[in-house]
Amino acid sequence: MIAAPDPNRKFSVQKAELVVFNRDVQELLTDFEMLIDIVKELGEGEQRGYQALFTVNEMVNVCDPSDPSSFSEAHSLAHTFFSQRNGDSQHTAHAMGHCHIDSAWLWPYEETIRKCGRSWVTVIRLMEKNPDFIFTCSQAQQFQWVKSWYPGLYSQIQQYVKEGRFIPVGGTWVEMDGNLPSGESMIRQFLEGQRFFNREFGIHCKEFWLPDTFGYSAQLPQIMQGSGISNFLTQKLSWNLVNVFPHNTFLWEGLDGSKVLTHFPPGNSYGMMGKVEDLMNTVKNNKDKGRANHSAVLFGFGDGGGGPTQLMLDRLHRVQDTDGLPKVQASTPDKLFSQLRADSALLCTWTGELFLELHNGSYTTQAQIKRGNRQCEALLHDIEIAGSLALCRNKTFQYPVEKLQELWRDGAALLHDAFGALGSKGISTGVFNSLPWERHEVVQSPAGADELALVRVPSLGLSPVEDTQPLVTVSVTSQADGSILMENGILQTVVNTDGTLASLYLINAHREAISDSCHGNQFVMFDDVPLYWDAWDVKWAESHKFLKVEFPVRVHSPDATYEIQFGHLQRPTHRNTSWDWARFEVWGHKWADLSEHNFGVALLNDCKYGYSVHKNTMTLSLLRAPKAPDVNADMGTHHFTYAVMPHAGSFQDASVIQYAYNLNFPLRSIQCDADTEPWSAFSVDSPAVILETIKQAEDRKGSLVVRLYESHGSSVTATLCTTLPVQEAWHCDFLEREDPTRPARITSEGIALNFSPFQIVSLLLIL
C-alpha cells in the first residue's frame, strides 16, 4: 500500500560545508544536464538527439576542470545547439511558475501560512533577478494569511501584480473540493474569492484554477460562468485508476448546457521541474494533437510549497526556441486560453461530470467532519434567510454582514438574534420554516420535552405551534415472531428483531419495495485494504473495515439518479464497460433514487455522501476505519439519519427532492407573541423550482439576493410570490452584479421567471 507520508520521519544532517557559488560552473552543469536529457528523450537515432550527443562530446573535449577559462568555450558550444530555432508548426509550451500549497494537510495549521511566506518571498527574489519570470498563484485565503502575517511581503506582491508578473488566479477563496460542498457553498467560494482579488488587486479572474481535487461536479461550468469565468484548468484526472481521460483541451458542458474552455496540462503535473522530460511529455501526452497546439507547463515545487527555482528558470530559458523541442514561452493564463480559444471550433465537447476514478473513500472518511459540514451549510442557510426576513420585518435589526462573511469563509447565536427580531421575543413557542413550501411535520410540543405536536407551517415563514390531527392514526403492533408491524395510511412496514426490514409496502400503489427473500436496512461490513492512500481510497473500533447499509429493492432500471449541486444526474447501475465499473462508489448529496416507470425507491440522508447502486441494490456508505494518516479516524460514537422512501410515479412527482430538503433543514423553534399569525415571506408556484438562498446583497443594504434553480430537469415558467415590499427586481450574476438589460417582470401575482433545465437564477430585489 502506498501510504501517506510518515509525520514522525526524521532526517540527519550528514555533511555541512561553506562554499562559494560559481555561476559559470552552474551554467555549464545546466548545459550538460539539458543536452544529456535531450539525448535520453530523443534518442541517438534521431538527428537532434545525435547532435545533442555530439555537442556534449565536444564540450567534454574542450572543457578542462582545472582551467576555468575553458568553460566559456564549452558553454558557447551548448549555446550554438540551443540557438537552432524551431519551425512554425512546433507545439508551444506556456511556462508559468506555480506553487500549489495545500491549505490543510499533514502539518500544523500555522505551517501553511509559513509555507506561503517562504514560497512567495522566494518568488519575489526570483522576479528581481529574472525580468521575464511570471508566477501564477491561487487561493484568496492564502493571500489573506500573508497579508496578516507578512505585510511587507504582501506589499511587494501587490506591486508585482500591478506589473502583471505575480498573477492571482482561480477566483475562489480556496481550491475547494469539487464534489461534496453544496451548490451555494461553491457559489460563495467564487463570491468571496473574486471580491477579494478585486478589492486587493483590482483584477477579475477569468479562469478557474483547481489542479488538485478529487472530482468535478457537473454544475461547475454553470457556476463558473455565473461568476464571470469562462476558462478552467485542472490536472487531477490524469490520476484515473482505470480509464484514461480522452482529452487535454476541450469544451466542458455542464448539467444545464453551459460550456467552459477546459485544459489539462498534458505533462500530467502541476509541479514540473522545467526538464526536457517535462517538455517532451507535454507534447507526447497531448491527446488533442491537431486541435490544440498550445499547452500549459506549470513549474515549481508544490503541495508543500517551495515553488520555482533559478535552476528551473535556467533550464527553460535555454530551450525556449530549440529545434526538436516544443517552443517555451513565459506566459500567463490569459495568453494560454486566448490561444486555445482561437482554435476552439476544432475542440471536442465532454458533457457531464468529470469523475475521478480514485479516492472514492474520501466521500465517507472522517464522518464527523462530513456531518459538521452539512449541518453548517444548513445553519448558514437558515441564518441568512431568518436574517433577511428579520431585516424586512424589524428595521432595528442589524444584518450580520461581516460575521457571515467570516463564517462562509459559531452560527447558533446569529440565528437566535434573527429569530428574536422575527418573533418579537414573545413567551409563546412558534416554528420557523426556512424552505419554500408548506410543511406538515411533527415537532416537540411546548407542553413538555416528551410531548409531540403535528404542526403546519407556511413556506419561508413562521407559525405558532398549533397541534393538528393526522388523517390516519399510526398503528404499531408486535407480532408473534417478535417483528413489529407499523402502518400510517401511507406505508406499511415490518421490522425484524435485528432491525432489518422484512417488508416496506406502499399502500396506495399496492407495491412492495423490498426484494423477495431479502431484507432492507442490512448493515454490511467489507474488508477495506486499499492499494494506495488509506484514508482516501475504497477497494470504526474496527480496523480497515467499511460499514454500509443496503436496500435490495423491487425496481429494475439501468440508471440511478443522484442529487448533486443545484440538480441531479444519472449513473449506470450495471458494469458493462470499464467506465461503468470504475464508478463502484460514487458521490451524491441528500438523496439517491432508483425508479422504473411509475414506481421507485429513494434513499435520503442528513450527512452522508458515498453511494452505490448495483442492479437493484441501493447502498449508502456509513463509516470507514482507515489507519493512515489518522490512526483514530472515525473511532467513537456517530449520529446520522437516513430514510428509505418508496414512491409512486417519478421521484419528481413524488416530491423526493422536497422530502430530502425537509430531512436536512428541520423546522426550528422560535419564541413569538401569543397572538402571532402564520406568516409567509416567499413561495414558488412550481414544484420544479427550488428557492435555495435569501441573503442581504453584499454592496446594497436593504436589498436582497434570492437564488432559485430548476430541480426536475425541465423547462418551466414559475412565479416567485412574496409578501415583502419589492420595488424593483433585476437579474444578477453570482457575484451579485446587476444586469441592467434584464429586469425581472413584477406582476400582481409576483415575479415571473422562465427556467431551462437545471438553470440557476439569481435576482436582486430592491425593497
Residue numbers annotated as active site:
212
Cβ neighbours around 237 below 10 Å, total:
20
Backbone φ and ψ for 755, nearest 5 degrees, come out as: -125, 140
Cβ contacts of residue 485 below 8 Å, gap of 6+?
Answer: 475, 476, 477, 478, 479, 492, 493, 494
Spacing of C-alpha 731 from chain mean position: 25
**Partner residues linked to 455 by β-bridges:** 441
Strand 703-710 to 760-766 pairing: antiparallel
CA atoms of 639 and 261, how far apart (whole Å)? 42
Backbone φ and ψ for 441, nearest 5 degrees, come out as: -140, 165
Spacing of C-alpha 347 from chain mean position: 25
- Alpha helix (H) residue ranges in 504-588: 578-581
Strand order in the sheet with 428-433: 668-672, 428-433, 461-464, 679-680
Q: CA 358, 360, 361, 367: dihedral to nearest 10 degrees?
A: 140
Q: Which of 567, 570, 640, 637 is nearest to 604 (CA)?
A: 640
Cβ–Cβ < 8 Å for 39, 49: yes
Cβ–Cβ < 8 Å for 733, 760: no
CA atoms of 383 and 342, how far apart (whole Å)? 46
All three cell numbers of 686, joined, read: 412550481
Task: Please state the length of the chain.
Answer: 767
Which secondary structure element, helix H or strand E, spans residue 259, and what is its range? strand 259-263
Cβ contacts of residue 402 below 8 Å, gap of 6+?
Answer: none
Which secondary structure element, helix H or strand E, spans residue 541, and what is its range? none
Q: CA 335, 340, 343, 348: dihedral to nearest 10 degrees?
A: -170
Location of C-alpha cell 393538528: 468
All three cell numbers of 705, joined, read: 439576493
Q: Which class for 509: exposed (0-12), middle (13-18), buried (19 or more C-beta within 10 A)?
A: middle
Location of C-alpha cell 410531548: 451
CA atoms of 662 and 644, how far apart (whole Å)? 14
Cβ neighbours around 570 below 10 Å, total:
14
Q: CA 443, 448, 449, 454: dihedral to nearest 10 degrees?
A: -20
CA atoms of 436 and 692, how far apart (whole Å)? 8
CA atoms of 579 and 587, how far apart (whole Å)? 15
Location of C-alpha cell 413550501: 437
DSSP 362: G
All three cell numbers of 153, joined, read: 511581503
